[in-house]
Amino acid sequence: MYKKIVGALIFVSCFAANAKQEVNVYSYRQAFLVEPLFEKFTNETGVKVNVVFAKKGMAERLKREGKHSPADVLLTTDISRLIELKDQGLLQTVDSERIEQAIPAQYQADDNTWFALTTRVRNIYSAKRLGEIDVNYEDLADPKWKGKICTRSGKHPYNVALVASMIAEHGEAKTLTWLEGFKRNLARKPQGNDRGQVQAIHQQLCDISLGNSYYFGKMLQNEKQKMWAGAVNINFPNQKNRGAHVNISGIGMAKFAPNANNAKALMEFLVSEPAQEMYAETNMEYPVRKGVKVSKFVAEWGAFSADSLPLETIAKYRKAALVLLDKAKFDL
């Protein structure tokens, strides 16, 4: 099938670089999300998938390995990580009509160095005790929410991407004012992860929070955490104007991929209809391929309109977003 190597914080040496019927993957995606897909790919093609799973260190490892790197395919969990790989010259252009035609233009690089595999919404969760609410990201700075909002660190990639989208929409000056108002409304210092904010709502420490859509499904399927999810409504912001902010998980081919043909075949497989359907069922994200339906479980959360801004446009404001977060002293 495939060979799996797990690394918690750093990558470990693991590949024979020039195997003819192999493809080597460096992945930030968790094993349970991608292993079924790799098994199916191997069964259909005979190409063995070797995988390193890690939480960080991909760009550093690739730079250290240089042209001797065994990496073929790179899987990431956020647009900022894809842009980091691109900006450091660690990706190569992939010429594939199958991929380009399968993925909406806003979710792929202009130079075909990276492509989205799934999308996820940056939702606003609200306590069910509030009833149904109509909420925009801009409302997070409304004084009516003073002392009622919880969030993880503003500098987490998910929140940085949201702030970057606000800059793209409103400019830096208005976004800084928004961040300052947002900070004044916090019930506590930014901390924890997205699930922890929903837990805080359940504990009545706050009334609303930011969180990625797929965590809602994961909590509902977790015996301990489903009571947290049961205490909130999942809201899709900005539905009467520009649409909800969307981030992605994505894929690229390593610059010095020794098995480039197999890498391209795997990338094309991952955007195929069967693979996208498997992805949607497994990880409770939204398939990026046009025409592939979301899982029945996710469909119950309702339809939504997404922000149409290309992710490359949003990514251009990432550094500015970090500067504004510092100016607002958001995490302090």
Alpha helices in 46-193 (DSSP H): 58-65, 79-87, 97-102, 157-170, 172-184
pLDDT exceeding 70 applies to what percent of the chain? 94
Position 78 confidence tier, pLDDT thresholds 50, 70, 90 = confident
Position 32 confidence tier, pLDDT thresholds 50, 70, 90 = confident
Burial 292-319 (b: 16+ CB within 10 A, else e): bebbeebeebeebebbebbbbebbebbe
Going along the chain from its start, the domains and CATH numbers come out as 2-119+246-299 (3.40.190.10), 120-244+307-327 (3.40.190.10)
To which residue do tokens 């480039």 refer? 260
Task: Determine the Cα–Cα distance for residues 88 and 97; give it in Å rounded to an integer.
Answer: 25
Q: Is 46 exposed, middle or buried (0-12, 13-18, 19+ CB in 10 A)?
A: exposed
Among the listed residues 192, 174, 187, the one whose alpha carbon sits nearest the alpha carbon of residue 137: 174
Reported as half-sphere exposure (CB side, CA atoms, 13 A), residue 90 has a value of 27
Instruction: Tell me how far CA of residue 103 lies from CA of 11, 130, 148, 188, in angstroms.
Output: 30, 38, 38, 40
What mean pLDDT comes out for the span 124-142? Answer: 97
Give the pLDDT confidence of 218-273 residue by residue, as tens digits: 999 999 999 999 999 999 999 999 999 999 999 999 999 999 999 999 999 999 99
3-state secondary structure of 294: coil
Q: What is the pLDDT of residue 6?
A: 43
The angle subtended at Cα 309 by Cα 307 and Cα 315, nearest 5°, is: 115
Reply yes or no on whether the pLDDT at 153 is more than 70.
yes
Give the pLDDT confidence of 169-225 residue by residue, as tens digits: 999 999 999 999 999 999 999 999 999 999 999 999 999 999 999 899 999 999 999
pLDDT exceeding 90 applies to what percent of the chain? 83
Reply yes or no on whether the pLDDT at 16 is more than 60.
no
Task: Determine the Cα–Cα distance for residues 204 and 202; give it in Å rounded to an integer.
Answer: 5
Q: What is the pLDDT of residue 220?
A: 93
Reply yes or no on whether the pLDDT at 13 is more than 60.
no
Reply yes or no on whether the pLDDT at 12 is more than 60.
no
Reply yes or no on whether the pLDDT at 280 is more than 90.
no
Q: What is the pLDDT of residue 142?
A: 98
Give the pLDDT confidence of 85-109 residue by residue, as tens digits: 999 999 999 999 999 999 999 999 9
The backbone torsions φ and ψ at residue 113, rounded to the nearest 5 degrees and listed phi first, read -95, -20
Task: Determine the Cα–Cα distance for residues 115 and 20; give it in Å rounded to an integer.
Answer: 25
- Sign of the torsion formed by the C-alpha atoms of 228, 229, 231 and 234: positive
Position 20 confidence tier, pLDDT thresholds 50, 70, 90 = low
What mean pLDDT comes out for the span 38-61? Answer: 94
Q: What is the pLDDT of residue 14?
A: 43
Task: Determine the Cα–Cα distance for residues 158 and 29; give it in Å rounded to an integer.
Answer: 15
Alpha helices in 75-147 (DSSP H): 79-87, 97-102
3-state secondary structure of 15: coil
